[in-house]
Amino acid sequence: MEKMFCFQCEQTAQSKGCTVQGVCGKTSDTANLQDELTSKTIEFANCAQFNECNTKLIIKALFTTITNVNFDDDSIKKLIKEMSDKISCDISFDIKSVWECDEDIRSLKSLILFGLKGMAAYAYHAKILGFSDEAVDKFFYEALKEISKNSSAEELLSFVLKTGEINLKCMELLDKANTQTYGTPVVTKVSTNIEPGPFIVVTGHDLHDLALLLEQTEGKGVNVYTHGEMLPCHAYPQLKKYSHFKGNFGTAWQNQQKEFANLPAPILFTTNCIMPVKDSYADRVFTTSIVRFPGVQHIGEDKDFTPVINKAIELGGYKELTKMTGINGGDILTVGFAHNTVLSIADKLIAVIKSGSVKHIFLVGGCDGAKVGRNYYTEFVKQTPKDSLILTLACGKYRFNDLDLGEIDGIPRILDMGQCNDAYSAIKVATELAKAFNCSVNELPLSFVLSWYEQKAVCILLTLLYLGIENIMLGPTLPAFVSPNVLNILVEKFKIKPVTTPEKDLKEVLG
């Protein structure tokens, strides 16, 4: 008897589905509540009027069900009740009907639903900064309705690509929101060392929460360090202006239970990826916005971070400068190569490609994760030829972002473009290069080597497919929700392939 069913992330049990409890730590009760919330959200989208308040509720519900966001049954129940109270039409839908239907339909509907969840996270961050796009907002209703219909595989496939198209708009919107609010990222060197005295570690993806925390800690003798996907925040002028915004602590999300165990500082989670919080550091963890974990103190919508600041002062931080490194021993991480920065040196970039100093560009991006095989990405980057550049984004970069691979004619070989949503920057750079060389993106000496873990990576992948990007290498394993027939379509139409070994894949790419 299955107690639950979930196969939305890369670490799903036996690469098939979690049926007893989540590998992520989600209990079957939480998983079933998240299914109920998804079902209610689909019912709601079928009858709700299109307006800001309803859109926000839909986005919040979708974001809540993303992997490693919310483990708290009470808050999910509250959201289900809020949604149920607003359902005004007579419709009944159970997401379990999707899990139980024909495997190709299940696969296509999963691609839409999981892509939508990822997009909801990006739309949420943009809305917090006051930025919305009507086409993006309307699509949430339309796509959720589609999931409840009896559409054909063909119709669903075109909806899958439509999800990718709208997600591109959504990432563009978030890029606009972040840069108009906090300035255009500039190249910045970030230290991995921790200075003496009280400090706060902030993780997740939300720039707004970080900005508020920086404001509230100013002049209080409490330093702020990023963790995980917050690292690129150091490049934004309106954030880096704070002298107490110091550096980066730790590596990617899957190492948090080890890295936080003895930390003499509080940790603020602004989004995923939160792992089950161990007793050894539970009293030091704070969540805010959509993130929740039972028993962990939550900072509400008033965003009063006083309890976090007081905790930092109480714990006191390290007594002396504490040297730390990335996973390869490097202690400086360079960030800030967003599309504006890279395109500001477009002439130089074009020149080094034309002269042959740069023969290939690799986009090695995506999520990190716990699986052993993920050292593929470290090895891949280490083995790339010296006349190649590596664009990177999202938390998978912690596998190699502390490596010093040198420069080519003044351009660093590793260019960190930002968070997962900054895949938009990579797309911008690729399309501009294609224009300059008067060819298609697929004809550029550019290869996409992606790592996926959760649903934000799904919507980014759909965007790349919508753009017609071919030969994407995807790992560490293919999604369990892609059925053999759907995979065949992806292989035939887009030549998508699973990663094999760095040696073999590099040989194939470079011929």
Q: Judged by CB under 6 A, which stretch of 74-82, 141-149, 283-291, 452-460 contacts ligand FSO?
A: 452-460
Q: According to DSSP H, which parts of 266-338 are helical?
A: 306-315
The footprint of ligand SF4 on this chain (CB under 6 A) covers a number of residues equal to 13
Q: Judged by CB under 6 A, which stretch of 6-14, 94-102, 156-164, 304-312 contacts ligand SF4?
A: 6-14
Q: Judged by CB under 6 A, which stretch of 284-292, 322-330, 426-434, 454-462 contacts ligand FSO?
A: 454-462
Order of strands, edge to edge, in the sheet holding 388-392? 414-416, 388-392, 360-366, 446-451, 473-475, 497-498
Residue 478 binds ligand SF4 (CB under 6 A):
no
SS (H, E, C) 290-354: CCECCCCEEECCCCCCHHHHHHHHHHCCECCCECCCCCCCCCEEEECCCHHHHHHCHHHHHHHHH
Question: Is 31 or 358 the residue whose CB approaches ligand SF4 more closely?
Answer: 31
- Residue among 45, 40, 88 nearest 64 (CA): 40
Binds ligand SF4 (CB under 6 A): choice among 1, 3, 12, 198: 12
CA–CA dist 296, 277 (Å, integer) = 8
Site string for ligand FSO, 203-232 (x = CB under 6 A): --x----------------------xx---
**Ranges within 121-160 binding ligand SF4 (CB under 6 A):** none
Q: How many other C-beta atoms are found inside a 10 Å radius of the C-beta of residue 180? A: 12
**Is the separation of the CB atoms in 286 and 266 below 8 Å?**
yes
Cα angle for residues 284, 285, 291 (degrees, 5° grid)? 170
Binds ligand SF4 (CB under 6 A): choice among 8, 55, 110, 425: 8
Shortest Cβ 155–ligand FSO spacing (Å): 28
Shortest Cβ 365–ligand FSO spacing (Å): 9
Binds ligand SF4 (CB under 6 A): choice among 2, 16, 28, 31: 31
- Count Cβ atoms within 10 A of the Cβ of residue 438 and give its class: 0-12 exposed, 13-18 middle, 19 or more buried: exposed
The item of ligand FSO, ligand SF4, none sharing an interface with residue 472, based on CB under 5 to 8 Å by kind, is none
Question: Is 30 or 419 the residue whose CB approaches ligand FSO more closely?
Answer: 419
- Residue 339 phi, psi (nearest 5): -55, -40
The item of ligand FSO, ligand SF4, none sharing an interface with residue 224, based on CB under 5 to 8 Å by kind, is none
CA–CA dist 353, 363 (Å, integer) = 16
Shortest Cβ 328–ligand FSO spacing (Å): 19
Site string for ligand FSO, 390-409 (x = CB under 6 A): ----xx--------------
**Is the separation of the CB atoms in 283 and 289 below 8 Å?**
no
HSE, side-chain direction, 13 A CA sphere, residue 237: 6
Q: Which residues bind ligand FSO (CB under 6 A)?
A: 205, 228-229, 253, 272-273, 367, 394-395, 419-420, 453-454, 456-457
Q: Which residues bind ligand SF4 (CB under 6 A)?
A: 6-9, 11-12, 18, 22-24, 26, 31, 67
